[in-house]
Every structure is written in structure tokens, then in C-alpha cells.
A and B are shown apart, each in its own frame.
Chain A
Amino acid sequence: MCPGKPDRHFDDANDALLASLREVLRPEPLSPALGDRIRAGWESRAAPAGRLRLPTVRLLGLAAAACLMVALLLQPARTRQPAAPVALSPDEAAAIVAAWGVLAWEGPVDGSLGVISASLDEIESALGRESERRTLFPWSSDDNWDVPVPNDEGASQSWTPLRSFLPRRA
């Protein structure tokens, strides 16, 4: 065989082999029994016996939701007693204020100051110590937080731990 010249005998043999392969590998029809078995399989999957159909589940869900709503409506109104005021120890109160001091002086940017103010109000309210509010929190959300000038009066009265968080100013 000359180099670069196609080997006709080789190609013919390949073609014959491929033709034989196609012949022996040709798919055969499915037997009727297998067809029936396959159909039975997909029917059982699509509508399994003993399982709930989707409309049934929806109806059950709606009924359950309706029962829940009725139960809530019929429930006698419970009288809520205000929680007993939480008496913080000086250490606990100091820890709270110290944490807020960190947030106030080191953490917040413009966008989060409002969040801190609101949270501060929530804490004050939850503690239920309205009468001591000024004492517990030396400054409030009404203060100008953009220019954090500490309430020196409150701090000097009760909250010496806060001083360590105050910005050092020249």
C-alpha cells in the first residue's frame, strides 16, 4: 500500500463489519408481555392505590385551616398580666450599657443609627422601668446620635463602666 493512499480492502472490511454490526444490534420489538408490564408500571406510579389524590389533600388542608381559625375565634380572651418588672443588678445593667456603648461609638453608620434607636426603645420598654429610664440609660434615642455627645450627667451618676467606651478626644 502506498503511503497516503486509502486501503480499499481495509475500508471495505470496515464497511462490512459496520453493516454486520448494524444488523446484529438492530433493536427488536418489545414483547407484548413486556409492553403490558411497562404500562402497568407507569399506571401504578401515576395513580398509586391507597394514596391521596391532590384534590383530596387540598380539601383536607382547607378544612384543617378552617377548624384552626374557628378554634382561635372561640378561644376565650386571655387576660394578660403585665410582666413583673425586671430588676437588673448593677453589673447586668452595666453590661447592657457597655454593649450599647460599643455599638454607639464604634459600630453604627448613618443607616443603622435608626435601628439602634428603635432597639434601645424596645429594651427600655421591655425592662418596664419607666420611672428609672433616665437613670438606666444616660441618653435616649431623642439625642443627636450623629454627634455623640455623651450625657455626662447620667454617666457620672451611675454608669462609670461606660466611660471606657467613650471616644477619646484630643
Chain B
Amino acid sequence: MKVRQALSADQRALLESLLEEVGPRLLGYVRKAFGSGVDAEEIVAETFARAADNIAAVVRSERKDLYLLTVARNLCRDAFRRRRPDRLSDEQLRDRPAAVLTPDEQSSTAEQRQRLLDAVARLPQAQREVVVLRMTADLKFEEIAELLGIPLGTALSRMNAAVRHLRKDLDYVHVSG
């Protein structure tokens, strides 16, 4: 039997502040890095529930956002083992006609936004995760490397590969002015 104690006022306040500061980044990370393979809201709720379970560890943690991201990532990986996400294979992606954006299309913010999101979703998982951790979770590359358990150079090269992949996928043309 696991015996739990009720949260103190300080602990509850800590969870509230984490919910406000880290919650959106956590949800964005899970949604955009793992897509439809997981129930993002369920993952985030479970992450905070586990934080309450191990509140002493959360209090001790120097980087509480990394702690929560790690828990969420582990939950996603568990969910992935049960259900593979729908994702185009590299071969399918290579054969897919590139979406060429005209200047008019690029000015259409909503369409460009959706195309970009789709392209991110088509990235290989390892690259997509680095992109989302950088852009959504707002982590530094050193922190991304620590979270993923990879060398810093690998994190950087995945980001670089992701950018090349996206440019190729979107046939992205920057039109200045």
C-alpha cells in the first residue's frame, strides 16, 4: 500500500506555478512532437499527477521544467509502444510532390502556418522532437541534449537536418520586402 500525504500549501502553490509556466510548453511539446500518437491532454494531466506523487523530488529538482518534460516524454514513449503514430515513411515523403509556395500563398498566413505544421509533422521523429523542444519548449540545445540523452553535436545536427528537410519538403522560398 502506498501511503500519500496531502499536499502542503507550498507544494500546491509550486504545482500551480508550474502549471502556468510549464503547462503550455508541455502540452505544445507533446502535441507537436508526438502528434496523434498520444492523447496530449491525458499525458500532461498524468505528468502533473506524477509530479504530485513525487512532489519531494520536484521540489529538490533544480530544473523543474526539464523534470516535467522528462516525465511527459517517458509517458509518450510508453504510449508509443502501444500505438505507432501515423507518419509517412521516408520513401513516401521523398515521392511526395513538394508544396511550392507562391508569394501569394506565403502571404496567406493561415495556409502557410498549416503547411508548416504539416511539414513538421512529417519530419522524422528524432528531428521533429529537437525542433519542438527548441521552438515550443524553449529549451537551449544543451538542455535538449541532456533531456534526450544525446551529445550536443547530435542535437545541433538534428536541428540542421530538420531545417534542410523542411526546406526541401516545402520548397521554401523566402521573399523579402
Contact = CB atoms under 8 A, between A and B. Distances in A.
Contacts of A123: none
14 contacts: A14-B167, A17-B166, A20-B113, A22-B135, A26-B135, A28-B24, A29-B24, A34-B27, A34-B45, A41-B45, A42-B15, A46-B55, A52-B1, A53-B5
Interface in A26-55: 26-30, 34-35, 37-39, 41-48, 51-54
A20 to B, nearest CB: 6
A170 interface: no
Contacts of A13: 167, 172-174
A42 B7 contact: yes
B142 interface: no
A124 B3 CA distance: 50
Interface of A: 9, 12-18, 20-30, 34-35, 37-39, 41-48, 51-54, 57
Interface in B1-41: 1, 3-7, 15, 19, 23-25, 27-29, 32, 41
A117 to B, nearest CB: 48
Interface string B115-129: 011001000000000
Contacts of B48: 38, 41-42
Nearest to A21: B135
B33 to A, nearest CB: 10
B70 interface: no
A41 B136 CA distance: 24
A27 B33 CA distance: 12
Contacts of B28: 25-28
B161 interface: no
B52 A27 contact: no
A43 B173 CA distance: 50
A52 B24 contact: no
A34 B112 contact: no
A35 to B, nearest CB: 6
Contacts of B92: none
Given A24-B117, A27-B24, A41 B7 contact: no
A39 B19 contact: yes
Given A14-B163, A20-B116, A54 B3 contact: yes
